[in-house]
Structure 1
Amino acid sequence: MLLPRIFAPVRACTRASSAFPIPSNRVTDALRNINGFTQPSPTLSFMRHASHQSQGRANGAKDGPGKRLGAKKSGGEYVIPGNIIFRQRGTAWFPGENCKFGRDHCIFAMASGYVRYYRDPLKHPKRQYIGVAFEKDESLPYPQNGARRRRLNMLPVETDLKPVETPEAQLVLDGGDGADAAIDMSTSGLQRNKSGTVLSLGMNGYAFRESNWSIGRTAEAANVQVKKFIPGDRFTAWQKSKARIALNEEKKRLRLAGKKATKPKKKVMRS
């Protein structure tokens, strides 16, 4: 439509020329009548229409929502066994101290402590590791030859097992064949508790316990009498058991025969 575009030039010409025989309002009315307008032209409004369909939301895509990969615990954060520290696809990060791999390559904690992200050139020059330190002020990796804490938060310490000096120099034990054997307690690592029981050093090397043969003879030493088992007549017991089984089978057969004799009720179809 060219009418709105020529309104301004026509008004300017009518105002500038005084010899124009038609008043300015008559000129605009004539132009409106020529173009078919009876009412004043409305104000122009520009509207943009979409040229194609709008895009869908990101979480509703055909591939589904995201897998929520990435770091779940930051460096220095406290974790307990089983906490997932990092989720990933592939091996961008490797498990370090007190950590392990999951089947989907996630790294989770194996001990309580504080998360550390670090590198270990002695293990691998380029790999990145995630570990758990037991103390907040510790840094990873641990020194190669330093004392290392275990999962029970304990340090390995060497202990000297000194023989216990007792008034008795010799201890007489009963051997397997009934012979008595004399053992020197000062050199054999044996001890006595408050009740006088002999304690020996176990296979683990740090605990004293009573020997198995002495535990087995505790009842004998206390003069505990056990009632003797009398088996009785096994043939008669077998006959009674056989008769009882036959009687139960007969009762079961009669019970099933009574159920077959009674006619089942007819089912009524409800509409």
Structure 2
Amino acid sequence: MLLPRLQPPLRAAIAAIGRSATLGSQPCLNEAFAQLAIKPSLTFVRHASHNQQGAVNKAKDGPGKRLGAKKSGEQYVIPGNIIFRQRGTHWFPGENCAMGRDHTIYATECGYVKYYKDPEKHPKRQYIGVTFERDQVLPLPRNSQRRRRLGMVATKMETAPVMEEARVDIIASDEGTTQTLTKKRKERKGEEGRDLTIRPGYMYREANWQIGRAAERANIKVRQFKPRDRWTAWRKSTIRKKSNAEKKSLGRKLK
């Protein structure tokens, strides 16, 4: 569609060309071209009626992912604090730290953040750790005592000595023979015949096979379990399904 300001000159030019064609004279053609050249500054410009396709490298919508360090070195953190967000494993979790499924490194204990390298563990990897003391340096020497939860140092616990059976010798003077009796250590009520020993985790408990004999110690008879008795199981399930169907049918009849 032509602009309104271009319509009058074009109409005059077209009319002059038409007259020159009918007359067949050369001067008329020259006049027509002269009229066309009256305004040489006019150019034909196409103006789009709507927006065209967007740019390829246009800035994406939405905020960034906010990757990078969230806690600096020697900054105090608590369990769950995010220390570093990353894509890939530029940093690896060290002492008292863990890594999430999106490679986020977070603290698992209260302490101070340390960025360090451990050539003995891996020559090129960078680690992030948490120490319980600000002046502590990572990595720790090999086979050294490590502080864990509650900032305590792991030490060997002293176990109480097990009371052995005391032997008492009683001499019977009238018969002239020596008789030996054994005196067992006193047991708490309900723990008769139990062998409580210290287990990993500093807990006094007995073995699993001994726990399973609790019913036997209490003189309780339990019906023996028959493995792979599928016939009995199928018969029970059939009876149960039949009774449930009868109850449903009775409920419908009452309604």
TM-score by structure 2 length? 0.48
